[in-house]
A and B are shown apart, each in its own frame.
Chain A
Amino acid sequence: MKAWLYFSPKMANKAVITDLVKNFDVNFNILRADIDSQGGKMLMEINGPEAEQGIAYIENAGINVSPIKRVVKKDENMCIDCGACVSLCPVHAIIVDDDWTVEVKDKECIGCKLCSYSCPTKAIKVIE
C-alpha cells in the first residue's frame, strides 16, 4: 500500500523507519520526502508479509499514517492520446497500449504532478 506518513516536530529525529525495517519483514520504498527539524511528510510504499504489523508499529510510535486511494485521474474526453506525458513519469505509471491509447496506472503513481502540469489539454489531474 501507499501512504503519506506525517511526522510531528518531536518525531523528526527518531529512527522509526530504521526500526521498522529492523523489526518487521517489510519492503518499502520512499517515493517522496519533505522532512526537516520541524517535522514533515513522507510518501511511502509499504509491502511485504508483515506490512500490516509494521504500519501498526509506526502508528503506535506517533506517526500519522494516511493511506492514499486514487491519486491520478485522466479525463478520457479531454485526453487526445498524444503521449506527451508518457516519458515524463518517473515511475512508468503512464503507458501506451497496443492500440496507442495512453493509459495511467493510478496504483503506481507517486503524485509528482509532472504529467498534469505538462498535459497540453489539462486532461490529467492529481487528486490527493
Chain B
Amino acid sequence: MKTIEEINQRIKDGDAVVVTATEMTQIVRENGAEKAAEDIDVVTTGTFGAMCSSGAFLNFGHTDPPIKMTKTFLNGVESYSGLAAVDTYIGATQPSRNPDVGIEYGGAHVIEDLINGKDVELVADSYGTDCYPLTEVKTQVNLENLNDAVMINPRNSYQNYAAAVNSTDEPIYTYMGTLLPNMGNVSFSSAGGLSPLLNDPYFQTIGLGTKIFLCGAEGYVIGEGTQHSTEVKRENGVPVDGAGTMMLKGDMKQMDHEFIRGATMPKYGSTLFVGVGVPIPVLNSDIAKRTAIADEDITCRVTDYGVARRSKPTILETNYQELRSGSIEINGVEVETSPLSSYKKAVKIAKELQSWIENGKFLLTSPVNLLAHEGYSPNPLKLGGKLLL
C-alpha cells in the first residue's frame, strides 16, 4: 500500500519507477501483482483515436466599438455563440458552411489549425445593442492572440468499443471508417491493453482532478464523460463493450500538433483525433493486477453496422490480440482488420508520459471525486412520433 503523496515524493527525488501498461503486463506475469505493487509506482497508458465529442472554448477579446457576437464562423465553420459577447465553442464535427467544402473541413480542422499556429479567419455578426453597437466583424485570429483556447471534450476515451463489419451488399461509410460489403473487413477502435480506462476498469484512481497527458500538454479529467456507463457486462474485470468515458480539459496553447489531428470520415463527417494518456498510481496489488490487463484478456464484440439501428447485432466476440494480428475469422473466412485508432501514437503517448514523470516534470494529483463505477446507464431518446427507420 502506498499513497499518491509518497509516489510524488519519489517522483521529485527522481526515484519513481514508471512503466507503460504494456510493460506492466509482463512485469505482473513474471513477478505477480503483490511484488509489482511494491516495485512499480506509476503505470502510463495512451490512446490516439477519433473522438467526435470534442471541442474548444475560445475567447477572442473585445473589439472597439464592441460586438456581442451572435453568429460566429471560423474559416467558414460555425461555432456556438450563445455565450457572452466574445466567447464561443467550436465543436469538432461542425461542417463548413460552404457546401463545396462541407465535411472536408470542419470544427476539428479549425482546432488543429489553431494548435498548429495557423491564422484562422473569424467572421461574426450581431443584432447590435446599446452597449455592443458593432454588428459585423471580419478578422484573423490565431492561438497566440486568443485570450483563451480551452479544449473541453464532453466524451473521450471510451473504455472499450465494439468493432464494426458490414453484412450488406454495398460498402457503407461510417464513423468507424469505410466498411466493405459482405463483411469484407473489420474496423476496430481501441488501444486495448494500453487504453486508459481499461487499465483502471473500476475507476479506483481516475476522477475529477486527475492530471493527464492531453494532446501533448498537461490536461485534466473533469468528470465522467457524457454517456458514461457502468452497467456493461464484464469479462476479466473489464467491460466487453463501450462503457466508461471521461470529460477532459486542456489548454490548447500548450498542445503539440503531433498529438492532435482534424480528420474526415468519408460520407460521415469531420472528427478530431485526440491523444490521451492517463497515469495510474499503483497504490495496491489490486490496482497492479488491473493494470496488467493484456490485449488477449479484453473481449471486443464485432457488430454489424449494416443494420442501421441503435443496438446493432453482435456477429461474434473476439479480443484485441486477434484484432491486432491483422485478420480474424468470421464464418470460416479470414477477414482483414483495420485499427482506426493509431496504436503507434498510443505507444508514443504512454512513453512520453512515462518520461515526463521519470524526469520529475509531471506530478500526480489526487482526484477530488472518482469516476462513478456504478449506477450509470444512459437511456435512449424516445421519439414522439413514428419511427422513421
Contact = CB atoms under 8 A, between A and B. Distances in A.
Interface string B260-272: 0111111000010
A120 B264 contact: yes
Contact of B336 (A87, A101, A117): A87
A120 B263 contact: yes
A26 to B, nearest CB: 30
A88 interface: yes
Contact of B266 (A82, A86, A96, A118): A118
B339 A118 contact: no
Contact of B180 (A82, A88, A99): A88
Nearest to A82: B342
A114 B339 contact: no
Task: Indicate the member of A81, A96, A118, A120 with the most B CB atoms within 10 Å.
Answer: A120
A117 B180 CA distance: 13
Contact of B326 (A88, A96, A120, A121): A96
Given A114-B178, A121-B263, A86 B48 contact: no
B336 A86 contact: yes
B178 A83 contact: no
A125 B50 CA distance: 21
A70 B31 CA distance: 51
Interface size class of A (residues with CB under 8 A): 20 to 34
Contact of B186 (A82, A87, A99, A100): A87
Contact of A121 (B48, B187, B261, B343): B261
B187 A81 contact: no
B265 A86 contact: no
A80 B343 CA distance: 10
B340 A82 contact: yes
A80 B261 contact: yes
A86 B342 contact: no
A83 B266 contact: no
B177 interface: yes
Given A80-B273, A120-B263, A121-B263, A100 B338 contact: no
B338 A85 contact: yes
The main secondary structure of chain B at its interface with chain A is strand
Chain B CB within 10 A, most for which of A84, A100, A101, A117: A84
Contact of B342 (A81, A117, A122): A81
B212 to A, nearest CB: 20
Given A88-B185, A96-B326, A120-B50, A83 B338 contact: yes
B344 interface: yes
Contact of A84 (B180, B340, B344): B340
B187 to A, nearest CB: 7
B343 A100 contact: yes
B187 A82 contact: no
Interface in B341-366: 341-345, 347
A84 B173 CA distance: 12
A4 B185 CA distance: 28
Contacts of A99: 344
Contacts of B180: 87-88
A43 to B, nearest CB: 20
Interface in A36-92: 80-88
A34 B220 CA distance: 55
A80 B265 CA distance: 14
Interface string B317-338: 0000000001000000001111
A121 B264 CA distance: 7
Contacts of A81: 342-345
A87 B341 CA distance: 14
Nearest to A102: B344
Nearest to A122: B264
Contacts of B266: 117-118
A79 B82 CA distance: 36
B336 A120 contact: no
Contacts of A85: 338
Given A87-B185, A114-B178, A120 B271 contact: yes
A24 B341 CA distance: 48
Given A120-B271, A121-B261, A83 B342 contact: yes
A99 to B, nearest CB: 7
5 contacts: A84-B178, A88-B185, A101-B344, A120-B50, A121-B263
Interface of A: 80-88, 96, 99-102, 114, 117-118, 120-122
Given A80-B342, A99-B344, A118-B266, 13 more contacts: A80-B261, A80-B263, A81-B342, A81-B344, A86-B339, A87-B336, A88-B180, A100-B343, A118-B177, A118-B178, A120-B50, A120-B177, A122-B264
